[in-house]
Structure 1
């Protein structure tokens, strides 16, 4: 089930980033070795009352003249309308209702997407209570007074946002066809790959109607299995500003990855692997998706018998945070190894949904502990009592221990490697959760 996407839109200095940071708060789990995650955080996974959603800050460059501000806001609104399930439109009670707010509200209203209007900087209801009513004039529903800086009214805001969630969840529920997102920097050949796959499989393409977001979904039948390919190449941005283009492509990637089972990260063989590639792969890794790295334009590379190994090692160094990723060297232009792509996708899908019997897992854990003692701290040693698999996509394991504080990521990695030695799990990340075993939790 894909998580709903919530986007924040608003003029400069109304508090978009403050709101984003407060809502994302402690839920931003920064994975230390995922590139591009700590800086310029554009999206975050949030939870409200057991509901998970992805929050996106459409912000970006803060221009200084009012006509640029309006065109920037239009652009943000377009991004939000194209990618989000719910839009938080944020205005400033102290500046009052300004012309740009009304113009953007018109755009948002026409989109028919659910909009929640947040009136920010209301840190005293007595003082600003009446000024909030002015925003009814926007005609997009009840204004919700909040103060992001003082953390007031956020519960009411999230309650309102969450009311719009469940409606968008049902569409993809019954659809159990594998969903494959093709992601990568602009111009690495994402659309050509889909066209080549279509050409080989001679299927009448129907862009599936009613997909919630604006990524173009393509159905492809290969050897009797129907696949849905989610292409992020769709919307072309005419932006001249590199950071903005990058921000835009990352937002598109997040929403496509969110809906996919397996993510194909396309890299341009001639250009080699770049920091932007690592950022995009990092999004799929963080979300626990199956990952295939497709090196496109392989036909253009001069090769000897070692080229593939050298190239693979180079990519693995840059993408060292996901050593489990599968590689395939293809050419969308010549059709080289395009059939292999389906084989690898199928294998990764199987690994994503692989379930291991508890008995076998505990045997592996016992053996691992015997070979390498768990870490200790101040004379107290970590004890591992029991392991069991609790979920798939990605395969998720709970380990019961005596003290969570003693767990260390290097030991987790050691256990992960032991499980991978036994079962492969190629192409998918694995997730480990530690629980302390008390009298209650056996």
Structure 2
């Protein structure tokens, strides 16, 4: 990355995610008073006084002894590996400690690990809301990592001093942003444990996200910026979305809310399915949320390596998928294996095709020629004294493509005829993977040109 990078590390529950949100000035990381809430690396860009740098939030670093005693040993080891990877990629490390608790054995172990990295370290003593806790922060001088900066991530206290310290330690390089602000956003969505994080890792070619058979491993929405075949993009990994009745209170509820918000800010959602499991109503519901948000969609069938040798399996799956997702027959379907990497490139390639389709504009003259042909082939249904006459059509917007039809009685246009017009548009122009919106408006027929000219001369 062209931007200098900063990693926030420390013990669990010292306020790393709260500080991450404070520095980004937005609620990007899930914050709960539960140790281990953050598991993956979460990334954002900080813009402060003309200085821009990338910022990683990481999971809490536990001691080897604590990990060995835990029932989630494998998951905690993966969390630690993610934090260590963020440290290796960072130019500056912000070591967050708890001023209320004072130095702990775990803090000492983290300090020893960071000292071996030989990288600039900023020591942030968080939760120093009171004068007493500010004095407690002085105890962290013992680590030999420089002056501890007392802060309160929750209240914003000491944040300017912290940013100044970070700025002093950042390498002096040309801060050129590698991605344009308009980089397409592609969200990976689906039920828990269908392989969204594994698919992201396969696309990136590195273990960017923790992958585990435990449902609910991913809790935050995680943005990953990259350049794909010359095209800047943002991949968004999300938490699995369960049925509303099965969503637990607390962390999971916020995680699901963030996944839904990720759909709102994405251009295209990749709905990840598990080929080894039957379709569910929840798969339909998630697809419905994407369509309701008017976003593009690609359906990725993961774990297909287990079926690709079975004769007729693909055709049977496609037939079932078209029946289940009958409300979006225009959505592309791609069969992938995050484990072997097969066809994972097609997921991003298709998503970028959908992004382009969402931005297409059709000339008004072509649209009206299509409308005349459609009416000639199949006129709108009429009743005695209640006929529908179309005047013209124009494309009013993109993202999603929106077409406005002007007619004398829009309220009489039957939904079946609206579907017919949409199908005619898609037959000619495609709009692969994206909803299109048809709007019908009343308009009095304009006066003849000679009459309009006569009026203007008067």
Normalized against structure 2, the TM-score is what?
0.53
**Among candidates 342, 356, 359, match of residue 353 of structure 1:** 359
| Distance (whole Å) between structure 2 residues aligned to residue 400 and residue 112 of structure 1 | 54
Name the stretch that deviates more: 222-231 or 248-257: 248-257
- Tell me, which stretches of 5 or more residues in structure 2 are unaligned? 1-31, 43-151, 157-178, 209-218, 449-458
For 1:333, the equivalent position in structure 2 comes to 339
CA contact 1:299–1:334 (8 Å) conserved in 2: yes
Instruction: State the distance in 1 between where 2:447 and 2:192 align.
Output: 49
Residue in structure 1 matched with residue 268 of structure 2 by the alignment: 262
What are the equivalent positions in structure 2 for 1:13-162 lying under 5 Å apart?
none
d(CA) in 1 for partners of 2:403, 2:349: 27
- Which residue pairs with 2:374 in the alignment? 368
Q: Distance in 2 between matches of 1:284 and 1:440?
A: 39
Contact 2:223–2:236 (Cα < 8 Å) also in 1: yes
1:292/1:344 contact within 8 Å kept: yes
Classify 1:303/1:382 alpha carbon distance in 2 versus 1 (closer, same or farther; 3 Å).
Answer: farther
Name the residue aligned to 1:272: 278
Q: Deviations over 1:161-187 (max 9, x none)?
A: xxxxxxxxxxxx971101000000110
| Cα-to-partner distance string for 1:367-422 (whole Å, 9 max, x where unaligned) | 00011110224531111110000111111000001012101111011011111111
| Residues in 2 aligned to 1:424 and 1:302: alpha-carbon distance in whole angstroms | 29
Give the SS at the match of 1:328.
strand
Task: Give the alignment's Cα RMSD to 1 decimal.
Answer: 3.6
- Structure 2: distance between partners of 1:270 and 1:186: 14
- For 1:242, which of 246, 256, 261 is the aligned residue? 246
| Equivalent in 400, 419, 430 of residue 436 of structure 2 | 430
Distance (whole Å) between structure 2 residues aligned to residue 330 and residue 358 of structure 1? 39
Of structures 1 and 2, the larger Rg is shown by: 2
Q: What per-residue deviation string (whole Å, max 9, x for no partner) do you get for residues 328-352 of structure 1?
A: 1001111010111122112111111
| Residues 415/231 of structure 1: CA separation in 2 closer, same or farther (3 Å cut) | same
Contact persistence 2:221–2:259 (CA under 8 A): no
What whole-Å deviation, never above 9, does each CA across 1:241-274 have from its counterpart, x for those lacking one? Answer: 7244786665333201111001100001000321
For 1:36, the equivalent position in structure 2 comes to none
Q: Which residue is 1:190 aligned to? A: 196
Alpha-carbon separation, structure 2, partners of 1:269 and 1:214: 25
- Equivalent pairs counted in the alignment come to 269
In structure 2, the partner of 1:180 is 186
> CA separation of 1:396/1:192 partners in 2, compared to 1, >3 Å: closer, same or farther?
same
Whole-Å Cα distance in 2 between the matches of residues 311 and 379 of structure 1?
48
Change (3 A) 1:405 1:111: farther
Q: State the secondary structure of the residue aligned to 1:376.
A: coil
1:217 and 2:212 are equivalent in the alignment: no
CA–CA separation in structure 2 for the residues paired with 1:379 and 1:440: 21
Shift in CA distance, 301/371, structure 1 to aligned 2, threshold 3 Å: same
2:16 is matched with which residue?
A: none
The structure 1 residue matched to 2:316, chosen from 303, 310, 319, is 310
